Amino acid sequence: MNSEERIVPMRLQRFLARAGVASRRGSENLMTAGRVRVNGVVVTELGSKVDPERDEVTVDGRPVRMSGPTYLMLNKPAGYLTTMSDPQGRPCVESLVPCDQYPGLFPVGRLDRDTTGLLLFTTDGNAAQELLHPSRHVTKHYVALVEGIPNAGELGVIARGVMLDDGPAQPAKAHVIDPGDPLYKTVAPNGARSGASVVGIFIKEGRKHQVKRMLAAVGHKVLRLHRDAFGPLKLEGCAEGSWRALTKDEVLAIREVVASGGAAHAQGGERKPNRR
């Protein structure tokens, strides 16, 4: 494991959960019961941290080791909150991914409740933080069913940086998608109604309801929204509502983005995901 992949010290209960010993809450119970030792010393304080590469952790005398981080993608359906729990009991993405199999799993960023598509999950907090940091400029591609048909002038406004109520958005590349393109069907499986169209848009920010607000700012209300790409990842081989582990090449691509500061995929607006 090189320095770029090294796992930083973490809370002991999170380490135990990541190692598959128990859930986070169950790991806390093991600690308070005096069943967990670090380097031979019983540790009951919940704020304690360990270095997974240097400290020896045991539970009931048995060594505990953490495997490498997990990465998977979910094809999120509409109607689910991007959260791991909801006090109001609303459906959450937590129920769609294998949290028991991969303790510590969490989503990287968010999709609105009514937005579908690619949602990355990981147990790697460092990678998630880097992927979401504004300085990384990780490109996301969305497909939107909108009212009306954006003209060249309106697309130009988006390209220059449309003004939103919380300040100007970064320049983004938007394009009208042809009905014959496979991406068209992701938001209009039976075709768009009269007066509507399908638009693809690349963004590098992650502001709340950003794509909806950008298109609304140029006069086109979003009726349906779908994300089909996140950085180097494309939503392939994953039916709606299902998940799959990232391939080795996809994991390497994610790590490359993290290591390079996002530069490797900052030019995402130049590629054409609708030409698969």
Q: What amino acid positions are annotated as catalytic residues?
A: 112
Q: Which residue type is seen at 162? A: V
User: H/E/C letters for each residue in 91-113?
Assistant: CEHHHHCCCCCCCCCEECCCCCC
CB 196 within 8 A of CB 144: no
Q: Which residues of 24-38 are buried (b: 16+ CB within 10 A; e: fewer)?
A: eeebbebbeeeebbb
CB 19 within 8 A of CB 13: no
Q: How far is residue 130's CA from residue 191's CA, in Å, rounded to a whole number?
A: 38
CA torsion sign for 118, 110, 133, 126 is negative
| Matching residue, tokens 């086109």 | 220
| Matching residue, tokens 């993608």 | 73
Q: Report the chain's C-alpha Rg in angstroms.
A: 21
